[in-house]
Amino acid sequence: MKKLLKIGLILSVIGIIAAVLVWKFYVNKPHEDIDSATPAYTLSTEEIWKQYTTDLKSADSIYTGKVIELNGSLSRVDKNDSLVSVIFVMAADSMFGDKTIGCQMYKKHNDEAAALAVGAKVKIKGFCTGYNDTDLIFNKCSIIK
């Protein structure tokens, strides 16, 4: 009986140590700073849109989860509560809404994004989260000067 208790205690200690290590190195890892990250790719909005709409699987495997630098002509800026999104309209669709590339800005870049003029050429760096059949979505975006 003492031998079983000893084995159980050792296994419990190993389990606790494993749980602490998983929490420290996997669950609690710091978030990537997109502002200072080097973009994996630099593309125009037209190039990335064409790739996603012609071969979704291939484009998704290349760009999703990566920091991308985009350049294009601004279509509009959407402001919603504390969120500001820079929008590039890629295909106008009056029935179901425009097909867009939407770039949700970091809060510290909200004022700068809100001041952009429609039609202005802009460079934006952000984290590509993928395509949802109508929109290509980027998060944690900043304006590159």
Q: E strands along 1-145, which residues?
A: 41-44, 67-73, 76-80, 83-91, 99-105, 121-131, 135-144
Q: Which of 36-50, 83-97, 99-113 has the lowest mean pLDDT?
A: 83-97
Neighbours of 50 (CB within 10 A): 14
Greatest mean pLDDT among 21-30, 53-62, 77-86 lies in 53-62
7: amino acid identity, one letter = I
Give the pLDDT band (50/70/90) at residue 104: very high
